Amino acid sequence: MPLIKETDYGTPLRHNPDQVTLTIDGQPVTVPAGTSVMAAAMLMGTKIPKLCATDMLEPFGSCRLCLVEIEGRRGTAASCTTSAEAGMVVHTSSQRLSRLRRGVMELYISDHPLDCLTCSANGDCELQDMAGAVGLRDVRYGMDGANHVHPESPLTLPQDTSNPYFTYDPSKCIVCNRCVRACEDIQGTFALTIEGRGFDSRVSAGGADFFGSECVSCGACVQACPTATLTENSIIELGQPEHSVVTTCAYCGVGCSFKAEMQGSTVVRMVPYKGGHANEGHSCVKGRFAWGYATHRDRIRKPMIRARITDPWREVSWEEAIGHAAAEFRRIQADYGRDAVGGITSSRCTNEETYLVQKLVRAAFGNNNVDTCARVCHSPTGYGLKATLGTSAGTQDFRSVEHADVVLVIGANPTDGHPVFASRLKKRLRQGARLIVADPRRIDLVQAPHVRAEHHLQLRPGTNVALINALAHVVVTEGLVNESYVRERCELEDFANWARFIAQERNSPEAVEELTGVPAAEMRAAARLYAMGGRAAIYYGLGVTEHSQGSTMVMGMANLAMATGNIGREGTGVNPLRGQNNVQGSCDMGSFPHELPGYRHVADDATRHSFEALWGVTLRGAPGLRIPNMLDEAVGGHFKGLYIQGEDIAQSDPDTQHVTAGLAAMECVVVQDIFLNETAKYAHVLLPGSSFLEKDGTFTNAERRISRVRKVMPPLGGMADWEVTIALSRALGYEMNYSHPSEIMDEIAQLTPSFAGVSYAKLEEAGSLQWPCNEAAPLGTPMMHVDRFVRGKGKFMLTEFVPTEERTGPRFPLILTTGRILSQYNVGAQTRRTANSRWHEEDVLEIHPFDAETRGIAEGDLVSVESRSGDIALRATITERVQPGVVYTTFHHAKTGANVITTDHSDWATNCPEYKVTAVQVRRTNRPSDWQARFFLEDTALTRIERSADAAE
Amino acid sequence: MSDGKLARMANQIAVFFSAYPEADAIAGVRDHLHAFWTPKMIDALQVLAAEEEGEALHPLVRKAMGPAPDGDDPAARTVEGPDQLGSLASDAG
């Protein structure tokens, strides 16, 4: 396996139907119009020397190394900034060019340290390569005089090691601006600049050190740097990698492609892969740097069992642990009935693993009690989009945003939750697309460098449906409906009913102004912009779904998009930003209790029979229990055993005390995870999980893109997750025969029409595939609903606003809403075990100055947050990002227990919890809450591991 | 599962469908329950609906728990292909 070196064309390749033919070094070459001479040369295999150019960035023309001669033109042109033209005759080498290039290199090297042998970039330094390429043999200027290199020189600056993941060494900087441009053009943060003038100029993180700056540690600058100026600390520590493997990030639903660069089975660094369609060579701090958890000392490496949760864990063999788990499940089924056990698939695991867990539940347990964490995030998306458009899938690929003229972001915080997509979005916004943000909180997108939301609809949490109805009301009553689109593509009777409903005065912006807290004029202006601003796209997140009317809101958005003709073209759509890396895949793979893989209801005889024939069992035709139902049943004493693969419901699910009561009431909880997570405190069997680096498989991202996950190191516990499920199934008496995950994918393809064309061989060839991938679409489907909706005609649904039952009042006057931040991921099991915690060491409560003042709360005070469900204590930060009456926190730290206060209210259709609206009171306190005090005790009491005497010594 | 919680969940479903004409709304509630609830949960709700007193159930829930119209099979609507999909079918939740 070699080290993958992607071709660098020097400047971005252009997509243009117009082609031009020019001659380079006597050879004709045809390229799309707009291609640079440099890229044209590289397309025919000629590498023109360069330093400031790289194809991730627009040309800059500063290093003067890429000079070429063009016949009929005077002087020498920079090939990066010169476009190829028809008939152009270019020479890339001559004595004159060699002399010029050598002169340029000489100047660069005259102010560059010559410690190449001990330099961290040794083996991967473009400056060194170019010195070689131009044949530099001598530096006539000597190394004396003013310089940035010698330690005693007043211009020499110390290294900046403030960032935990990379080091800035100013002495190595050649001021090529690649890092600055990467920060601006790719990431869109504008944290870097060139400070000073002339000989004093130097890269600077806005005058601060990197850690204290605006830098978000996406790594784009480090990747762009041609020298050792910005270098990953892991490279400094370990040296250069010797081979690499392309794999898929295991953090968010963007699903970035990475090269895992390795030394043997040690990861040296993760570098975003340019060929990955989801990220096209970009990354964020999590995927790029926060992978150290995979080898963290907390990793569970041996199976463990215990009789009671208060007993210490006992390390046992795989055979014993799996045999014990299987025996317990069978005992429980014998004692309490077949339905007393169930399973939870993991949206963190691969498609193949998820498929096996649901297969185990349906075939070996013999019931449909299987669910997944999509229950608590995007299940309303599934329901709402299926009802209106015919499929639960997101409509577009990420690249589509490059064609959007208007972007409506609702209940999502892409710069924190989906940073790599956010960078794409910001790029489009800088090009002039217009932005509407609907969010109770002033998220970063509302005002970012060179990005500003034209309308920030700062609604009160819980009033989404009233808002979307008001926008639709404006569209209908002001005659902005795209009538020809609706007539051609939608059910007309439903449209007419909907239009009559939505046109009623009670849905007007003026009528809901007070309720939503958004000025009517703003709503009207936003609706007009969405309807008339050109191609309009909706991007949304959990701020839409995690409400008692989550499904209604999804339908409301689909209604609005259909009414304005904004589905089925590039740059439009209703686009869910999925949370977990494989939450799309886990849903596709039949993780819901009512449907088999491919979203087919268990009551469908034909589908069920096809599975029964292949699996050799009889399947139940009625839905099983959803996660909240399982917990309710457990508390009621009817549900006794649960197999949980890679999910931490004790931290992530709402109303923690109800969840833990349910878990504590069970007789056998089997947790398969890489860490002893919160749920494991209530487990009786712990099976070591494997990280994404330790197994083969596929993940499916929010674009429906299926990408390969490739094993780069052996599983620390000895078995990959899919092997564990197979072993458990065998022990339960149900044989599963797969020797590699590719065979599992073959079975999925055989049984699932939308996956019929998917195989590992094809993925190898195509890189990734977007389902549906079958005979009709052999290379997959980037965009859904192109000529017609999946359900045939689009269906407008009536979306009456119904206020949540969670009400504020004198006891609980504030609304708490929750979310995430950039550096931490979900329950934090991974990111808390990396240096990412330096940015976010604890969850804090954001509170408006007005609410803080009336409560006597000062910045950093410990405050108690109490709801009808429970109370916690955390530190307050005072900010106008939240509006008066609303407080906000994250749920990344188990010790905070943010979900102790969230309630058991849920979406009417899917039971997706209402995380985003909890009535609370906030007051100063001087101690942790009772729950937190108990947490600290249990954190030790329920996690003890009894090791044999010799192991302890 | 407690009766109170079952009733609350069923009522939430009924409130959504109450925007529709009654016949559609009743069918909507019934279809939804059969598509997403376990038989045991539906049976428990049936018992609640039959009680004169007890949990306050939305009228649509009570009606949806009544006898289905002749030949009406909620399961069939749930599993029809996209072109024939009933209005209230879904693939998630």
Which residue type sits at B80?
E
Separation between Cα atoms, residue A80 and residue A54, nearest integer Å: 9
Whether the Cβ atoms of residue A563 and residue A433 lie closer than 8 Å to each other: no
The minimum CA-CA distance between B32 and chain A, rounded to whole Å, is 8
Q: What is the pLDDT of residues A130-167, one digit of tens each?
A: 999 999 999 998 777 888 888 888 888 999 999 999 99
User: Inter-chain contact B87–A599, Cβ cutoff 8 Å?
Assistant: no
Beta bridge partners of A906: A913
- pLDDT tens per residue, range A549-564: 999 999 999 999 999 9
Question: Contacts of residue A636 in chain B, CB cutoff 8 Å?
Answer: 1-2
Residues of chain A with CATH 3.40.50.740: 316-377+582-688+713-754
Nearest in space to A625 (alpha carbons), one of A356, A904, A361, A908:
A361
Q: How far apart are CA A580 and CA A542, in angstroms?
A: 12
Q: Is the pLDDT of residue A889 over 70?
A: yes
Q: CATH second-level architecture of A814-941?
A: Beta Barrel (2.40)
**CA B64 to CA B86: how far, in whole Å?**
16
Mean pLDDT of A684-699: 96
- A584-596 average pLDDT score: 94
Question: d(Cα A272, Cα A257) in Å, to the nearest integer?
Answer: 6
Q: Indicate whether B74 pLDDT > 70.
A: no
What is the interface pTM, i.e. ipTM, of the complex? 0.90
A406-465 pLDDT, tens per residue? 999 999 999 999 999 999 999 999 999 999 999 999 999 999 999 999 999 999 999 999
Using the structure block, give the residue that is written with the tokens 């949760």. A309
User: What distance in Å separates the CA atoms of residue A19 and residue A650, rounded to the nearest whole number?
Assistant: 59
Outline which parts of chain A fall under CATH 3.30.70.20: 166-295
What backbone phi and psi angles, to 5 degrees, belong to A944?
-65, 140
Is B3 in the A-facing interface, judged by CB distances under 8 Å? no
Please say if the pLDDT value at position A952 is more than 90. Answer: no
CA A450/CA A453 separation, integer angstroms? 10
Q: In Å, how far is B41's CA from the nearest CA of chain A?
A: 9
pLDDT band at A661 (very low <50, low <70, confident <90, very high): very high
pLDDT in tens, A94-133: 999 999 999 999 999 999 999 999 999 999 999 999 999 9
Question: What tokens were used for A124?
Answer: 């991967």
- And the tokens for A597? 């893989």
In chain A, CATH 3.40.228.10 sits at 379-576
Per the structure block, which two tokens stand in for A492? 């007309």
Task: Give the model's pLDDT for residue A458.
Answer: 96
Note whether B93 contacts A603, CB cutoff 8 Å: no
Q: Do B90 and A911 touch (CB under 8 A)?
A: no
Q: Whole-angstrom Cα distance, residue B35 to residue A589?
A: 18
- Nearest chain B Cα distance for residue A604, angstroms: 5
**pLDDT of B50:** 86
Residue A833: burial class (beta carbons within 10 Å; 0-12, 13-18, 19+):
buried
Confidence of residue A511 (pLDDT cuts 50, 70, 90): very high
* Rounded distance between C-alpha atoms, residue A178 and residue A185, angstroms: 10
The rounded distance, in Å, linking the Cα atoms of A887 and A852 is 10
Q: Chain A within 8 Å of B36 (Cβ-Cβ)?
A: yes
Closest to B36 (Cβ–Cβ): which among A392, A501, A594? A594
Q: Give the mean model confidence (pLDDT) for residues A842-868.
A: 96
pLDDT tens-place string over residues A353-371: 999 999 999 999 999 999 9
- What is the DSSP code string of A144-157? -SS-SSSTTSTTPP
Q: Give CATH 3.10.20.740 domain extents, chain A.
A: 19-134
**pLDDT given at position A663:** 96
Structure tokens at A117: 């042998």
Q: What is the pLDDT of residue B72?
A: 62
Please count the residue pairs, one from chain A and one from chain B, whose beta carbons lie less than 8 angstroms apart: 122
Residue B73 has pLDDT above 80, yes or no: no
More confident residue, A490 or A579: A490
User: pLDDT tier at B76 (50, 70, 90 boundaries)?
Assistant: low
Q: What is the pLDDT of residue A800?
A: 95
Which CATH architecture best describes the domain A316-377+582-688+713-754?
A: 3-Layer(aba) Sandwich (3.40)
**What pLDDT does residue A146 have?**
86
Identify which of B38, B82, B85 has the shortest CB distance to residue A623: B38
Quickly name the fold that domain A166-295 has: Alpha-Beta Plaits (3.30.70)
pLDDT, average across residues A189-212: 92
**B12 chain-A contacts, CB cut-off 8 A:** 548, 908
Q: Which fold has domain A19-134?
A: Ubiquitin-like (UB roll) (3.10.20)
Q: Where does the pLDDT of residue A502 fall: very low under 50, low under 70, confident under 90, or very high at 90 and above?
A: very high
Instruction: Report the run of H or E that residue A882 belongs to, with start and end.
Output: none
Whether the CB-CB separation of A911 and B9 falls below 8 Å is answered with yes
Report pLDDT digits (tens) over A700-712. Answer: 999 999 999 999 9
Average pLDDT over residues A186-194: 95
pLDDT computed for residue A329 by the predictor: 97
Band of residue B79 on the pLDDT scale cut at 50, 70, 90: low
In the structure, what pLDDT confidence band is assigned to residue A230 with cuts at 50, 70 and 90?
Answer: very high
Rounded CA-CA distance A718/A256 in Å is 27
Q: Summarize pLDDT for A902-951 with one digit per residue, the tens.
A: 988 999 999 999 999 999 999 999 999 999 999 999 999 999 998 765 54
Q: What is the CATH number of domain A379-576?
A: 3.40.228.10
Q: How much is the pLDDT for A724?
A: 97
Query: What mean pLDDT is predicted for residues A314-324?
Result: 97
Which helix H or strand E contains A886, and what residues bound it? strand A886-890
Asked if residue A378 has pLDDT above 70, the reply is yes
Facing A908 at nearest CB: one of B16, B19, B88 = B16
Contact B85 A594 (CB under 8 A): no
Q: Of A485, A567, A543, A515, whose CA–CA distance to A790 is shortest?
A: A567
- Give B30 to chain A, closest Cα distance, Å: 12
Q: Where in chain A is the domain with CATH 2.40.40.20?
A: 814-941
> Average model confidence (pLDDT) for chain A?
94
For A622, the closest of B8, B39, B85 (CB atoms) is B39
Q: What is the DSSP annotation of A478-535?
A: TT---HHHHHHHB-HHHHHHHHHHHTSGGGSHHHHHHHH-S-HHHHHHHHHHHHHSSS
**Is the CB of B38 less than 8 angstroms away from the CB of A551?**
no
According to DSSP, the residues that pair with A644 across neighbouring strands are A344, A671
Tell me the nearest-neighbour CA distance from B74 into chain A, angstroms: 10
Write the CA distances from A72 to A77, A85, A87, A423, A837, integer angstroms: 12, 13, 11, 42, 59
Q: Where are the alpha helices (DSSP H) in A46-176?
A: 95-109, 126-134
Whether B85 and A382 lie within 8 Å, measured CB to CB:
no
B86 reaches A (C-beta below 8 A): no
Confidence of residue A254 (pLDDT cuts 50, 70, 90): very high
